[in-house]
Amino acid sequence: MVLTMTNSFDTPSTRTWFITGASSGIGLALAVRAAERGDNVIAVARRAEGLTQLTEKYGDQVLSASADVASLSQLQSAVNAGLQRFGRIDFVANNAGYGVFGAVEEATDAQVRAIFDTNVHGVLNVLRATLPTLRAQKSGHILQGSSYFGQMAHAGVGMIAATKYAVEGLTEALFGELDPLGIKVTLVEPGLTATSFLANLDHVETISDYDQTVREVLKTIGGLPPTAFNTADRVVDAIIAATEANTAPHRIATGSAAVQDIRTALVARIAELDEWAPVSNAVDSSN
């Protein structure tokens, strides 16, 4: 059961964030920024010890919660603890993530299930745990951690892209479902970012036929200069801008490379759609 406590006022001066993946990377940077701005933070991570730096620095302003996003009951406990301390939730940052790099054929069943458990089922669990509160408040802003791989994919990132495409699809449905309830939803689509995510990618057993495609991609990424990677703090700048906009964006890409790659993919998709439109349209029963 999830408590649906709210404060008596609709627009609190001190807002409360529920952030998963808060022990590192973008999640940690967002938790720090929120706390520095004077907001309350329910910081969620699988291992509570990774959140010590937040509670030691910000005290009662941060509530640390050990929860695996694959466990709905653990997330509900974190939500209830946060509501008991802070009374409401204003922002939900669905940020926990897991990566598998390799050709689609190379990924094992265990790896595929693991990445979907975190990146898709985990996202759904966070929504199930927090939406009862947001609906009761008739307010809130959900920030869905996606990726530019949710708009385009290339060799080697098939499993990551598959989960991000899934998140993008379910979130598009949320736009229509939650807007009438006063709840905003934004997909955050980072490009390459200097976090531990890339270093912690789960690699597959390789098949030599993919050496000239998949392995070359990894080699290229590994050879990029530090300036090719955005910092987590800069990504948080974009997230904060989205939360402060009069009209929250449905999507926000972070980094010029992500913007360009997404634009290129969309233009190519539209061009192919137009090229094949005569064949597609001929399927209509009226023709």
Rounded Cα distance, 123 and 12, in Å: 26
Percent of the chain, pLDDT > 70?
A: 92
Assigned domain for 11 exists? no
Q: Is 132 left (phi over 0), alpha (psi -120 to 50) or beta?
A: alpha
Mean pLDDT of the chain: 91
240-260: average pLDDT: 95
> Does position 1 have pLDDT exceeding 60, yes or no?
no
Q: Could you tell me if residue 144 is inside a domain? A: yes
Confidence category of residue 175, pLDDT binned at 50, 70, 90: very high
DSSP class of 168? H
> Looking at the domain assignment, is residue 48 inside a domain?
yes
Q: What is the CATH number of the domain that holds 241?
A: 3.40.50.720
Whether residue 251 lies inside any domain: the answer is yes
Domain that includes residue 234, residue range? 16-255
Give the list of residues 6+ apart from residue 141 with CB closer than 8 angstroms, or none. 90, 91, 92, 183, 184, 185, 186, 243, 248
Number of structural domains (the chain) is: 1
Check whether 226 has a pLDDT greater than 50.
yes
* pTM exceeds 0.85: yes
- Domain presence at residue 8: no
Mean pLDDT of 160-176: 97
What mean pLDDT do residues 33-41 have?
A: 97
11 pLDDT above the threshold of 50: yes
* pLDDT score of 8 more than 80: no
pLDDT band at 130 (very low <50, low <70, confident <90, very high): very high
Q: Is residue 30 part of a domain?
A: yes
Q: Which residues contact 274 (CB under 8 A, 6 or more apart)?
A: none
Is residue 262 domain-resident? Answer: no
Residue 277 forms part of a structural domain? no
